[in-house]
Structure 1
Amino acid sequence: MNISYARRRVGAVLAAAALPLSLAAVAPQAWAADAGAPFGPGCASLPKQGPGSPSAMAGQPVATAAAGNPELSTLVAALKQAGLVDTLDKAKDITVFAPTNAAFAKIPKAQLDKVLADKAALTKILTYHVVGSTVDQADLADGSFKTLEGGTLTTGGSGDSYKVNGTAAIVCGDVATSNATVHVVDTVLMPK
């Protein structure tokens, strides 16, 4: 399996994992009022309009919205591979810590291929990135959140600089979808 194909599959799987993680069907106006504008250094790379833009993502469920963002294609392939797209898209009021393509690229190819071939392991990793409640910037300074996988994620930071589990930086946070809040991270989070 070549890396490009594996990344597309991982991205597809992650998009499928758009589990019904209660992505509150939030309209773009409600998103701006409730969660505020996206924050972080990576937000500048979001398209200003069309697929992958904040306004387009706000009108779609999380996995579908992620599929429109070229920086999340590996995650979407992984969600599809794990069969999580429908689950995430039907969830309500969830939060997804979404690894970028570059985050997946940090994983050695042999290890990534092994995880992609093991649906149970892939599902465990992907659901570790999802919290069953809304977590926005105000909650990130010193937070601890139970994931759908059953583990716990911790967050810390201030201003526009936050880390998850002390290692993964949130490069663009508070991106709203119709049923979720998305925090784009630069590292794939691994459950214990």
Structure 2
Amino acid sequence: MTTTRTPRRSALLAAALFVLPVTLGVAGPAFADSPPPAPYGPACMTVPKQGAGSFDGMAQDPVATAASHNPDLSTLVAAVKKAGLVDTLNNAQNITVFAPTNEAFAKIPKADLAKILANKAELTKILTYHVVGETITPKQMENGTFKTLEGGTLTTQGSGSSFTVNKTAKVVCGGVPTSNATVNIIDTVLTPPM
């Protein structure tokens, strides 16, 4: 009897040792806390290595607060404040923000930008068009269509670390984590469909 049980136990133990790693490999919770991919794109090189404006610093704050620490997003931050969207963005969860740089806003003629900034409804429409109510991964951005908080849709295309939004805006630094959002910094202000 002893001889038949030992091989059976050995076989069961071997099977358990084989199954355990496979089970762990497919278990979602075991990898749920894995870090997101690192930010990508040419403008990521200019982000400070330490402090509030660094990637680690931005990851500690909600999106509107985190953006306020990035000097390249000061026009966007001023517009968000003017539209009264700071709390809305900071309290939202798992969103993706396509954040135009100061240079993106500078492409808009000054008179037109002044009109937009003076019209809270229009400003809100434009800013909420830059926000998607879900976390978007680089894989999804390869050929994606996403509904924005404004109600319209935007499209993304590309691969690796090179993506465009609506075929006009380039992602210059993508996948930047904040405590409640993923930020993709873009070089052009997006226009909602009419």
Q: TM-score range by the shorter chain?
A: 0.7 to 0.9
Residue 61 of structure 1: CA displacement?
A: 0.2
What is the aligned length?
Answer: 163
Superposition TM-score, scaled by structure 2 size: 0.82
Secondary structure in 2 matching 1:56? helix
Superposition TM-score, scaled by structure 1 size: 0.83
Instruction: Work out which structure has the larger RCO, using CA pairs closer than 8 Å and 6 or more positions apart in sequence.
Output: 1
Partner Cα separation in structure 2 for residue 142 and residue 91 of structure 1 = 25
Secondary structure in 2 matching 1:96? strand
Secondary structure in 2 matching 1:135? coil
**What is the alpha-carbon root mean square deviation over aligned residues?**
1.5
- Runs of 4 or more, structure 1, over 3 Å off, are 30-34
1:70 corresponds to which residue? 71
Q: In the alignment, is residue 100 of structure 1 matched against residue 101 of structure 2?
A: yes
1:166 corresponds to which residue? 167
Residue 125 of structure 1: CA displacement?
A: 0.1
Residue 35 of structure 1: CA displacement?
A: 2.5
| Stretches of structure 1 lacking an aligned partner (at least 5 in a row) | 1-29
| Stretches of structure 2 lacking an aligned partner (at least 5 in a row) | 1-30
- The C-alpha deviation readout for 1:96-143, integer Å capped at 9, x for no partner, is 000000000000000000000000000000000000000121211000
Equivalence map 1:36-185=2 (5 Å): 36-185=37-186
Residue 32 of structure 1: CA displacement?
A: 9.1
Q: Which structure is larger by alpha-carbon Rg, 1 or 2? A: 2
Distance 1:143 1:34, change over 3 A: farther
> Structure 1 or 2: larger helix share?
2
- The C-alpha deviation readout for 1:31-89, integer Å capped at 9, x for no partner, is 99342100011100111111211000001000000000000000000000000001000
Partner Cα separation in structure 2 for residue 56 and residue 138 of structure 1 = 25
Verify the 8 A CA contact 1:40 1:171 in the aligned structure 2. yes
Partner Cα separation in structure 2 for residue 34 and residue 104 of structure 1 = 32
Question: Which residue identity lines up with residue 36 of structure 2 in the other structure?
Answer: A
1:24 corresponds to which residue? none
Verify the 8 A CA contact 2:139 2:159 in the aligned structure 1. no
Secondary structure in 2 matching 1:33? coil
Verify the 8 A CA contact 2:98 2:130 in the aligned structure 1. yes
Partner Cα separation in structure 2 for residue 98 and residue 82 of structure 1 = 15
Partner Cα separation in structure 2 for residue 35 and residue 152 of structure 1 = 25
**Percent of pairs with identical residues:** 65
Question: Which residue identity lines up with residue 42 of structure 1 in the other structure?
Answer: A
